[in-house]
Structure 1
Amino acid sequence: MATLRELADRMVALGMVTEEKADAVLADIGRWRKEHLDEQLDERDLFGWLPEFGIAISVHGDDVDFVEDYYRRLLEETVTACTGGAVVITGVRLLRDEDFGEFLYFLRNGEPVWWHVEHESDDYVDQMAVFEQFGDLDPGGDDPREFYQLLRKKHESCQDDVYVLATPEQARALRDEFGLDFCGLDAERHDSIVRANTFLDSWLSEMDDALAAWRTRFLPGDFPFDFSFDSLTALGRLLLARFDGWSAVNRAAEEPFVSGAVRYLGETLIRAVPCRWSCWYVEDEPVLEIVSDTPAAFRASVVPLNALARAAGDRDPGALDTPVEELRDAVDQYARMRRLLSAEVP
Structure 2
Amino acid sequence: MPAPRDSYDSTRHPDLLAWLTERQTGFERWAHEAGGVTPFDFSNASLDALEDLVRKAYTMTEEVTQQRRTLFVQGAVWYIGEVLCRRKGWVWKFEPDFDTGEVPPFYGETEAPGLLDTPCVGAPGAGPGEHWYPLNSLRRLLTEDDELGNPVDERLVGMVEGWYDDEDEEDYEG
| TM-score bin (small chain) | 0.5 to 0.7
* Count of aligned positions: 142
How many angstroms apart in 1 are the aligned matches of 2:104 and 2:125? Answer: 27
Aligned match of 2:20 in 204, 212, 217?
204
What amino acid is the match of 1:284? Answer: P
How many angstroms apart in 2 are the aligned matches of 1:293 and 1:317? Answer: 27
2:79 counterpart SS class? helix
Deviations 1:318-343 (A, max 9, x none): 2353144167569xxxxxxxxxxxxx
How many angstroms apart in 1 are the aligned matches of 2:70 and 2:120? Answer: 18
| Larger proportion of strand | 1
Asked if the contact 1:246–1:309 (Cα under 8 Å) also holds between the matched residues in 2, the reply is yes
1:305 equivalent to 2:142? Answer: no
Asked if the contact 2:140–2:154 (Cα under 8 Å) also holds between the matched residues in 1, the reply is no
Which residue does 1:171 correspond to in 2?
none
How many angstroms apart in 2 are the aligned matches of 1:312 and 1:201? Answer: 29
How many angstroms apart in 2 are the aligned matches of 1:295 and 1:278? Answer: 11
Gaps of 5+ in 2: 97-102, 107-116, 145-151, 168-174
Deviations 1:272-305 (A, max 9, x none): 21211101355434420011244438x7411011
1:311 shift after superposition = 0.6
Which residue does 2:172 correspond to in 1?
none
Question: TM-score, normalising length from structure 1?
Answer: 0.36
* Alpha-carbon RMSD: 3.1
Asked if the contact 1:233–1:317 (Cα under 8 Å) also holds between the matched residues in 2, the reply is no
Deviations 1:206-259 (A, max 9, x none): 2322211211222131x1311012211111111000000111111110111111
1:322 equivalent to 2:159? Answer: yes
Asked if the contact 1:291–1:301 (Cα under 8 Å) also holds between the matched residues in 2, the reply is yes
How many angstroms apart in 2 are the aligned matches of 1:224 and 1:329? Answer: 30
Which residue does 1:284 correspond to in 2?
105
Which residue does 1:235 correspond to in 2?
50
Identity of aligned residues (%): 25
Which residue does 2:35 correspond to in 1?
219
Which residue does 2:110 correspond to in 1?
none
Which residue does 1:244 correspond to in 2?
59
1:205 shift after superposition = 2.1
1:296 equivalent to 2:119? Answer: no
| Larger proportion of helix | 1
Question: TM-score, normalising length from structure 2?
Answer: 0.67
How many angstroms apart in 1 are the aligned matches of 2:27 and 2:138? Answer: 17
Asked if the contact 1:277–1:290 (Cα under 8 Å) also holds between the matched residues in 2, the reply is yes
What amino acid is the match of 1:275? Answer: W
| 1:82-101 superposed matches below 5 A | none
Larger radius of gyration: 1
Alpha-carbon spacing, 1:234–1:187, altered in 2? closer, same or farther (3 Å) = closer
1:310 shift after superposition = 0.7
Alpha-carbon spacing, 1:326–1:293, altered in 2? closer, same or farther (3 Å) = farther
Point out which structure has higher relative CO (alpha carbons under 8 A, 6+ apart).
Answer: 2
Alpha-carbon spacing, 1:274–1:327, altered in 2? closer, same or farther (3 Å) = farther
Gaps of 5+ in 1: 1-185, 331-346
Alpha-carbon spacing, 1:294–1:328, altered in 2? closer, same or farther (3 Å) = farther
